Amino acid sequence: MNSECDHERGAIMISRELCKRAVGCIRRLRYLEFTENALYYDRWSGSCPVAGYGFEQSATEHLIELERDLLLCPETREIERTLRGALEQEGASELERGMARWLTRRVEEATRVPLELAAELSAASTEGERIWAICRDRNDFQGFLPALRRQFDIQRRIAEAIDADAQPYDVILARCDPSYRTDELDALFTKVKAGVTGILASSRSTWDAVDDSLLAAADRRSEQAEERLLADITLLLGADSERIGRWRVRHPVTVCTGPRDARPSTYLHGSVSLFQTLRAMAHEMGHAMYASSSSQAVVEAGLWGGVEGIMHESQSRFFENHIWRTPEFLSRLIPGLAREFEEFADVDPCALARMLNKPTLKVSRLAADELTYPVHIIIRHEIERDVFDGVLSLEDIEEAWNDRYETYLGVRPRCASEGVLSDVHWASGSVGYFFSYALGDLYAAQIDHALRDQVPDAFERLSKGDPEAIITWLRDRIWCHGQTLTAPEVLRGASGEDLNVEHYLDHLRSRFEI
């Protein structure tokens, strides 16, 4: 096994019997999680008819109750206490530390958050997604507002139950990824926003001259042509078709059900442009390949799937921005484009990359270019923070949203569907998750810097149709660890340093200051 994935490093601090019991407990919890995710996939993919939502929600709430019973039973509590005690000593292995961290976090939340509140969040999320879809189609923010109030109220009560003395938004962020506090994010985002706006101002006139009209030629595609190009992307990225299946949905998402079962999606045919559809597939493929590539030792310990939040988003953003948008990757995609559209027969990969990377000020996060994307996230983060700090009411967030878009990006949503209703996250219970997309960008840039330094010919090989150097490096340094490490630990191990925002800003300058 490569040293980067040597999960047994360190002394064995717990007995073989305790390890066996801990693994058994974790795996039983993961089986319940698998079932919950399978039900989520069933609803989100449209397989479950609307009339079946109620029964599926009842089943989900029963699974939550079973999970709570397992976490709070005397045996699990004893295992968790013993694990935590053993790991207070020096020299514990990566797997031991990972098991202790994974189990402790869940036992502590189950102890503090009442079952009724957890079930209420689940029900509000299922119903919220349904209401969001209706209100988005109708452009009806007022109709969505009661569901939004319910979500934020539940999130605040959960935060108070977990830690009544902490700032609620800090607790909410930590539930998504405990790596950074609100004040740390604010400081990072101040640097990012200044860097992005500076680059945009200095290069805007040059980018405005880039002719990207060729891209529209691909929008007359048939569904069959689109499917062939999606298959091309899957192959070019080196995905394992036995582990990864594709599907279509209104709002792309990846559902990771098992250690070798990840289900990335992209947009329904014709709902967005071809290149946005392809880019979304590359993004979700990053999630899927990360989730399904934990080492066998990690799988057996039940810690497969990757670190939720920042680390997972770093992999999706790496695939989207540091692979899919590069001339090296596009040089391999162009033959497929030319197969479907004669206009692409003679296009230069660098020219196509410039078209796809052209900064365009838009109101849509999902359609945003790479340079301005973090500003979309910062707007959402600031609104969430201000709501939890009590300086912004939910009734006023549509206006606050529109005003910040106009101030930060110079564009204003024409309606709620283009603005405050454009994302499903608040409806589905993912309050506090947005920051991980922007931090994922920072992590991805630092990972890209380390990869190019350690494997100088990786992208040259990609241009020849061989992604294996990139995939192997990611698998050995990031994917193999599953959930055994924290996001900062994975980044430090892969890149040799803690988060350094300058790698991200250097990447943006290199790509956009032309």
Q: Is 398 a catalytic residue?
A: no
129 closest CA partner among 43, 64, 56: 43
Rg (alpha carbons) of the chain, rounded to whole number: 23
- The whole model's pTM is what? 0.94
Burial of 292 (0-12, 13-18, 19+ CB in 10 A): buried
**pLDDT tens-place string over residues 216-233:** 999 999 999 999 999 999
Q: Which residues of 438-475 are buried (b: 16+ CB within 10 A; e: fewer)?
A: bbbbbbbbbbbbbbeeeeeebbeebeeebbebbbebbb
- Domain 182-512 falls in which CATH fold? Neurolysin; domain 3 (1.10.1370)
Count other C-beta atoms under 10 Å from residue 34's C-beta. 16
**pLDDT tens-place string over residues 187-215:** 999 999 999 999 999 999 999 999 999 99
Residue ranges of the binding site for Zn(2+): 283, 287, 313
Residues contacting 453, CB < 8 A, separation 6+: none
Residue ranges of the binding site: 283, 287, 313
**How many angstroms separate the CA atoms of 121 and 103, rounded?**
21
**pLDDT tens-place string over residues 345-391:** 999 999 999 999 999 999 999 899 999 999 999 999 999 999 999 99
Instruction: Specify the 3-state DSSP secondary structure of 318.
Output: helix
Tokens for 254? Answer: 């990846």
pLDDT greater than 80 at residue 53:
yes
| Confidence tier at 3 by pLDDT (50, 70, 90) | very low
Count the helix, strand and coil residues of the chain and give each as a percent rounded to the nearest 5: 70, 5, 30
Given the residues 226, 284, 418, 489, the one annotated as active site: 284
Length of the chain in residues, anyone? 514
What does the angle CA 139 – CA 145 – CA 147 come to, to the nearest 5 degrees? Answer: 110
Instruction: Specify the 3-state DSSP secondary structure of 201.
Output: helix
**pLDDT tens-place string over residues 420-430:** 999 999 999 99
Give the E-state strand segments of 195-349 in sequence order.
247-249, 254-258, 261-267
Q: Map out the domains of the chain as residue ranges.
A: 3-166, 182-512
